[in-house]
Structure 1
Amino acid sequence: MEAAPFFSDVDDGPEGGRALWVTAADGVRIRVGAWPADGARGTVLLFPGRTEYIEKYGRAARDLAARGYATAAVDWRGQGIADRLVKAPLKGHVGAFSDYQLDVQAMRAAVAEMGLPRPFFLIGHSMGGCIGLRALHEGLPVDAAAFTGPMWGIAIPPAMRPVARVLSSVGTALGFGNAYAPGTVRNAYVLVEPFEGNNLTKDRGMYDYMIRQTRAHMDVALAGPTLRWLREALAETAALASMPAPDVPCIAFVGSDEAIVDVPAIEAQMAKWPGGRLVRVQAGDHEVMMDTPETRARLFDAITAHFDAHNAARRTTAARA
């Protein structure tokens, strides 16, 4: 592993943020970043969503550090400044969703290399929630998990879902898997969508934060997904929906104004999760970790209270006291 670029000029995270290049088992190079926290009582493995990158979560890392947790985040293959997978770098693409689990394994190796403190906890946002749920099924060693706007389904009108499945499957089979999925943007969302009417956040300051980061480091920009990504995402979310919930304490959050992921799929997943708790964020959009200061404070208070309650190391120490 070697040092990777870390954009401290725009992350607005805790001091000491850094990143490493890590090569996944299939040879794809990804980037793993981390922010320390003085006296941390564990580390949050933060799985970003599609189009996202490490530095976007600098403020989230600051909120977590203030509550006693270090944070590690990842540039998944095909986004951030990890290896892009098709010639047109703005296209969001993946060969198979199972490939993201190779990135999870590489991230775990980097976290060990960085010496981040145990125990580990998971926060998965959007596509990172899909990847994270699969990782839990495959034994990701975390004491507890939290999800925000998890992509356990995509917000496609019911009448259009069969069309999306057929189009993405047939298009990929005919050799058009690298083509943009219909109706998707051809540049970074925050650079083409004005704040008014956006589906990410109600907080203008946070939206400006995303715009500023993307303009300062255009290499992190990502546009819409390809037909292959859509086919693989639909297949993965359907597979996960058919499985029992993992035996990991879980809390999930969904905005009342969520318009990107499928809310009924989140409700169904949490309804079968033993002891799982679903929290509805009033007036929240897709990125509730990047909403108003008041919403973010309540959110991170709830997440870290959940982690504290299931922190095995902390419970053991308390029992010995």
Structure 2
Amino acid sequence: MPAPQETFDRRAIPASATESRFVLPDGHAIRRIDWPGSGGGKRGSILFLPGRGDFYEKYLETLDHWHGEGWRVTAADWRGQAGSGRLGGDEVTGHVADFTDWTADLAQLWRAWKEDTPGPHVLAGHSMGGHLVMRALVDGQVDPDAAVLSAPMIGMAGPPLPLGLLHMVARLMTRIGDPRRQAWKWSEKPGEMPADRNALLTHDGGRYADELWWREQRPELVMGPGSWGWVERAYASVRHLARKGMLETVRVPVLVLSTAADRLVSHAAAVRAAERLPQGELIAFGDEARHEILREVDPVRARALAGIAEFLDRVAPAGARP
């Protein structure tokens, strides 16, 4: 497999990609970006969903890499974040009424996208995106040939307390105040990045700086903390996946990439999920990788990309499904 592209311009939309809007049945439009490209799709098609507060610009390098391998690639925002509007009471707080609102959107996008793209079809997600991909799989809303989850939010890092207790506290917080209010402090200036945030995400200072550049160039991408409503619904959805027999119903091959150094999501929960999935596989990292594995330093990224390519070559080979 070729090494990651050192000359790729991470601060520009590739000429081979097209940005557009996908209009959902209720009229809400979400941003998407597609690499149909010259020869794109000979290998199959990948649909990628980013994490909470994310935007697809952060993953241009990886998306273009997959396109270079012959995949037809699409990425999209979640409703209510990045360039797809807001659902809370201000422009920086991430909020949602329920995670099933997002999986319903994913199901709509999946059906339309699958009809227009060559197989095999792969569904990929990072962090919250990985959680929602897994939730849609468990709930039978999508039918990919394979799934790839990068640092999936199967569980959240935090106090070592019972999940039920954490959920109860979050539910209480939604009832004693506006559930759209911020659940944690971000910075003194709304929307401004905390000084040590990069220590949670990646060892690669250049790739972290790219995110800040995109936020300056496209202010509509800026998002800060999640709401208490988001926290409560996140715990509810995590508990849904944790129920006995839920992950065990997923027959799709699923590759989980996770790092023991993750301070945002639970590595232990990701490992357990890979073990519970009938066709689950795990690529585990240690201190060399922080939360954003696909935006890490080149040696880490190269291992992740190679692992994904090897997995997909085995479980979703070219021509396996039209």
State if a TM-score over 0.5 links the two structures. Answer: yes
Q: 1:101 to 1:25 in 2, by over 3 A?
A: farther
> Which residue in 2 is equivalent to 1:271?
275
Q: Deviations over 1:181-213 (max 9, x none)?
A: 134557457x33347x62000111111111111
1:214 and 2:215 matched? yes
List gaps (5 residues or longer) in structure 1: 1-8
d(CA) in 2 for partners of 1:292, 1:161? 33
**Counterpart pick for 2:309 among 291, 294, 304:** 304
The whole-number CA distance in structure 2 between the counterparts of 1:45 and 1:203 is: 25
Q: Distance in 2 between matches of 1:100 and 1:15?
A: 29
CA RMSD of superposed structures (Å)? 2.4
Cα contact 1:45–1:72 (8 A) shared by 2:
yes
Distance in 2 (alpha carbons) for counterparts of 1:182 and 1:247? 37
8 Å Cα contact 1:14/1:65 also seen in 2: no
1:22·1:106 contact (CA, 8 Å) conserved in 2?
A: no
Moved more, 22-31 or 285-294: 22-31
After TM superposition, the structure 1 = structure 2 runs for residues 129-208 of structure 1, keeping only pairs within 5 Å, are 129-137=130-138, 138-159=140-161, 164-184=166-186, 187-188=190-191, 191-194=193-196, 198-208=199-209
Q: What amino acid is the match of 1:279?
A: I
**Contact persistence 2:184–2:225 (CA under 8 A):** no
Q: Distance in 1 between matches of 2:50 and 2:40?
A: 25
Q: Bigger shift: 219-228 or 70-79?
A: 70-79
Q: Measure the CA separation in 2 of the matches of 1:13 and 1:217.
A: 12
How does the TM-score come out when normalised to structure 2?
0.87
Q: 2:80, 2:95 within 8 Å by CA — same for their partners in 1?
A: yes
The amino acid of 2:233's aligned partner reads: E
- Are 2:232 and 1:231 equivalent residues in the alignment? yes
Of residues 40, 43, 49 in structure 2, which corresponds to 1:47?
Answer: 49
Q: Secondary structure at 1:93's aligned position in 2?
A: coil
Measured in 2, the distance between the counterparts of 1:11 and 1:244 equals: 38
| One of 250, 253, 258 as aligned partner of 1:249 | 253
Report the CA distance shift for 1:194/1:216 in structure 2 as closer, same or farther (over 3 A).
farther
Q: Distance in 1 between matches of 2:203 and 2:167?
A: 32
Change (3 A) 1:108 1:136: same
Question: 2: distance between equivalents of 1:112 and 1:273?
Answer: 24
Q: Is the 8 A contact 2:119 2:321 kept in 1?
A: no
How many residue pairs match? The answer is 306
Q: Quick one: structure 1 residues 257 and 188, their matched pair in 2 at CA, closer, same or farther if it must change by over 3 Å?
A: farther
Rounded to whole Å, the distance in 1 between the matches of 2:260 and 2:172 is: 34
**Other structure's SS at 1:122 match:** strand
| Contact persistence 1:14–1:61 (CA under 8 A) | no
Q: CA deviation at 1:46?
A: 0.5
Q: After TM superposition, list the pairs within 5 Å mapping 1:86-165 onto structure 2.
A: 86-108=88-110, 111=113, 115-137=116-138, 138-159=140-161, 164-165=166-167
C-alpha deviation, 1:60, in angstroms = 0.9
Q: Is the 8 Å Cα contact of residues 49 and 75 (structure 2) preserved in structure 1?
A: yes
CA contact (8 A) 1:12 1:59 kept: no
Amino acid at match of 1:244: L
Question: Following the alignment from structure 2 to structure 1, what is the Cα–Cα distance between the partners of residues 219 and 310?
Answer: 36
Please give the alpha-carbon distance, in whole angstroms, between the structure 2 residues aligned to 1:13 and 1:64: 15
Assess, with a 3 A threshold, how the Cα gap between structure 1 residues 123 and 205 changes in structure 2: closer, same or farther. Answer: same
Partner in structure 1 of residue 75 of structure 2: 73
1: distance between equivalents of 2:44 and 2:261? 32
Which residue, out of 69, 82, 85, partners 2:84?
Answer: 82
Question: Which residue of structure 2 aligns with residue 6 of structure 1?
Answer: none
Please give the alpha-carbon distance, in whole angstroms, between the structure 2 residues aligned to 1:258 and 1:63.
24
Question: 1:247, 1:264 → 2: CA distance?
Answer: 22
Q: CA deviation at 1:66?
A: 2.5
Structure 2: distance between partners of 1:27 and 1:288: 34
**TM-score computed with the length of structure 1 as normaliser:** 0.87
Say whether the 8 Å CA contact 2:89–2:181 is kept in structure 1.
no
Give the 3-state SS of the residue equivalent to 1:98 in structure 2.
helix
Deviation at 1:154, TM superposition (A): 0.7
Change (3 A) 1:156 1:162: farther
> Is the 1:168–1:230 Cα contact (8 Å) retained in structure 2?
yes
Separation in 2, partners of 1:254, 1:215:
30
AA aligned to 2:178 is F
Question: Quick one: distance in 1 between partners of 2:157 and 2:110?
Answer: 31
From 256, 262, 279, give the equivalent of 1:258. 262
Compared CA separation, residues 36 and 23, structure 1 to 2 (3 A): closer
